[in-house]
Structure 1
Amino acid sequence: MKKLINDPADIVTDALAGMAAAHPELRVDLPNRVILRQDAPTPGKVGLVSGGGSGHEPLHGGFVGLGMLDAACAGEVFTSPVPDQILAATTAVDSGAGVIHIVKNYTGDVMNFEMAAELAAAETGTEVVAVIVDDDVAVQDSLYTAGRRGVGGTLILEKLAGAAAEQGRPLTTVADIARTANANSRSMGMALTSCTVPAVGKPTFELGEGEVEIGIGIHGEPGRSRVPLAPAREIAAMLVEPILVDLPFTKGDKVICFVNGMGGTPLLELYVMYNEVARILRGQGVEVARSLVGPYVTSLDMAGCSVTLTKVDDELLRLWDAPVRTPALRWGV
């Protein structure tokens, strides 16, 4: 294992200290491992809180800022944040307008966010609404999940709901937008290599030189199948075709097309993949209204990618285009 770390036990704390040093527009609560907007809580604004295991950066801490999250909780690598962390984040961003928890559908995350919401209601009277992200079409149940996993669609939810909250919309409206974004999003990923968790020091799973895993989870969970390495156009079809069938997406639909890197894949290859994905969508009559390419929902050093398609109307497009200023996503400001 070769990694730029000090002690594996300190990697999350060290990384959060680095974020605080690099981004003075954020406020980092190191004891609770919570990243906050410097101006939180914003009077009258619905607070947005998300989080999860570390190792998926820039998700979630890189999406804290104007137009997206108000706070993000960082768990240990691939481990849910604990209820006390989530409670601290929820309390810190509560302006009285309510708080939304955006939760990826993993058993530990769902349980800990539920506990934190109950504590917030009991201790401070905060109204908390949870929206579960379950956009992965690869498998119905996997390691750590009951139902579908939350993957690339998480970014879409955080952006669209974040824009709505920034505009001052009420709690129920912001939650409905997040739920609509989830219902309209489908994702599927693949891996060329495993990732290596620092505390473990060896790859999570083994792939042969000529093999790829289709339908992989963002923690290295098994996918649909292990197949021989193939050209990008064939890999793209293995990812996109199940997505198109699942919603389904049909001729004339407009989508946000997000081609995501898993952490160890260069942009050169991601743009090759995007070209193939866009070609498939044109052939199906699906219009790419907006696109995003890059490593945003990662799995440490895993080589591979995922594709997320979100069906959008004019209202959702306006929310996508709304200003955003975070460490990892920035436009319109």
Structure 2
Amino acid sequence: MKKFMNTAETMVAESMEGFVRAHEAFVVFGTGRKCIRRRHLTPGKVALISGGGAGHEPMHIGFVGKGMLDAACFGHIFTSPTPDQIASAIEEADTGAGCLLIIKNYDGDVMNFEMAMEMAADRHRIETVVVSDDIETARTGEGRGRRGVAGTLVVEKIVGAAAEQGLELGELKRIGDRLNGRIRTMGVALGGVTMPQNQRPTFSLNADEMEMGIGIHGEPGHSREHFSSAEAIIRHLCETISADISIQPDTKALLFVNGLGATPPAELYLAYYAAHRFMEERMVHIERALVGTYVTSLDMQGLSVTLALLTDEEIALWDAPVVTAALRWSP
């Protein structure tokens, strides 16, 4: 598999250089290129910081800006940023109101963010929200429980808007924790991820197979199943999601269909149409929608469906202005 790169070793650094130069109106590198942060920080606002391995772009660097993150740390491909990077982001982004760390629930991410907190705790007030929206790991009993996947974007946007309005650190944590409990995601793939260092896929499928319940680091799913129609695939994802979360009649929700890197928009919108019909049949009111490629797994041909049950206040925060590389809208 050919890739547009010079070497696997320099791919992440060169990609990050390109990102900052493309969006230099509102982002800059932190000291020593340990993170990417807002060009203009807001004094007295709680700083939101997230991060993870490269290969998931535009998450997280694409969500740095007004209305979302103040800084994002990046590691090598599918590798957590180091505690030193995260501690550096805390030092730079905290303007006096403390920091909220939004962490995807992977063992490496949680461990390194916790170590960074210990390094910075004597100088900064820090709280965390650990996002755990992926239903598959909860069913298999792996690691710390549910992984954090595409639902992380929803938490970062809503909590980011609340931080922009001046809410204090403890309240932002409460908003994030409550919201996390009402988000579920499940993904499917038609092929594995081609890793830059060896240019081989993480798993291979026959023409009539698909992987159900995949992760965003190229992990295979919980089952390899016979490939079927888009309608049947999306219905299976939605049935599994709806069985895993308490949905009351007339519930309001955000429905998010996310591409994992190599799925064209036409297929994502087709999937959204099927998922929307499924939710409507169950009296879920889809108040807001997001369709696109936002939380990727390099070049994986696949998608995920996220359902976030939202209050009116959270819908208003979702609608609040945002100016980042990947998300941008006005009220």
TM tier, shorter chain? over 0.9
Provide structure 1 residue ranges, at least 5 long, that are not aligned to the other structure. Answer: none
CA RMSD of aligned residues (A): 1.4
Give, in whole Å, the separation in 2 of the partners of 1:168 and 1:204. 44
Give deviations 1:103-136, integer Å, cap 9, x for gaps. Answer: 00000100000010111113xx101101101101
Residue of structure 2 equivalent to 1:29: 30
Aligned equivalent of 2:81? 81
Given that 2:101 and 2:128 are in contact with CA atoms closer than 8 Å, whether structure 1 keeps it comes out as yes
Find the residue that maps to 1:52 and give its secondary structure: strand
Matched, 1:149 2:147: yes
Contact 2:30/2:92, CA 8 A, preserved across alignment:
no
Q: How does 1:176-195 map to 2 (within 5 A)?
A: 176-195=174-193
Q: Secondary structure at the match of 1:209?
A: coil
CA contact (8 A) 2:150 2:295 kept: yes
Alignment of 1:163-242 (within 5 A): 163-242=161-240
Task: Give, in whole Å, the separation in 1 of the partners of 2:134 and 2:45.
Answer: 30
Of the structure 1 ranges 24-33 and 51-60, higher mean CA displacement relative to structure 2 is found in: 24-33
Deviation string, structure 1 residues 67-112 (Cα, Å, up to 9, x no partner): 0000000100000000000001111110111100000000010000
Structure 2 counterpart of 1:34, which letter?
C
Query: Closer, same or farther in 2 for the Cα pair 1:200/1:262, shift >3 Å?
Result: same
Contact 1:121/1:128 (<8 A) preserved: yes
Aligned residue in 1 for 2:258? 260
- Identify the residue that residue 294 of structure 1 maps to in structure 2: 292
The letter of the residue matching 1:129 is E
**Aligned equivalent of 1:11:** 11
Describe the SS at the equivalent of 1:8: coil
- Counterpart of 1:108 in 2: which secondary structure? helix
Cα distance, 1:30 vs structure 2: 7.3
Tell me: CA distance 1:178–1:322, structure 2 relative to 1, closer, same or farther (3 Å): same
Tell me the equivalent position of 2:52.
52
Q: CA deviation at 1:146?
A: 1.9
Q: Secondary structure at the match of 2:52?
A: strand
C-alpha deviation, 1:139, in angstroms? 2.6
Letter in 1 for 2:82: V
Verify: 1:274 aligned to 2:275, yes or no: no
Check the 8 A contact 1:250/1:284 in 2, yes or no.
no
Gaps of 5+ in 2: none
> How far, CA to CA, are the matches of 2:197 and 2:172 in structure 1?
38
Choose 264-273 or 145-154, whichever is displaced more.
145-154
The CA distance in 2 between the partners of 1:205 and 1:49, in whole Å, is 32
Report the equivalent of 2:39.
38
Aligned residues: 330
Shift of 1:222: 2.7
What is the TM-score when the length of structure 1 is the normalising length? 0.97
Secondary structure, aligned partner of 1:260: strand
Cα displacement (A) at 1:142: 6.4
The 3-state SS of whatever aligns with 1:140 is: helix
Q: 2:169 is aligned with what amino acid?
A: L
Taking the aligned partners of 2:91 and 2:139, their CA distance within structure 1 comes to 33
Secondary structure of the corresponding residue to residue 128 of structure 2: strand
Cα deviations across residues 256-298 of structure 1 (Å, max 9, x unaligned)? 0000000000000000100000010111111100000001000
Tell me which residue corresponds to 1:109. Answer: 109
- Deviation track 1:5-52 (CA, whole Å, cap 9, x = no partner) reads 111101111011001110112112373431100012x21100000000
- CA gap of 1:112–1:167, structure 2 versus 1, over 3 A, is same
Find the residue that maps to 1:208 and give its secondary structure: coil
Does the 8 A contact of 1:192 with 1:211 survive in 2? yes
Amino acid of the structure 2 residue aligned with 1:231: S
Structure 1 runs (4+) deviating above 6 angstroms are 141-144
In structure 1, distance between residues paired with 2:146 and 2:225: 22
Distance 1:143-1:273 versus aligned 2 partners, 3 A rule: same
> TM-score under structure 2 normalisation?
0.97
Q: How far does residue 306 in structure 1 lie from its aligned partner after superposition?
A: 0.2
Amino acid at match of 1:9: E
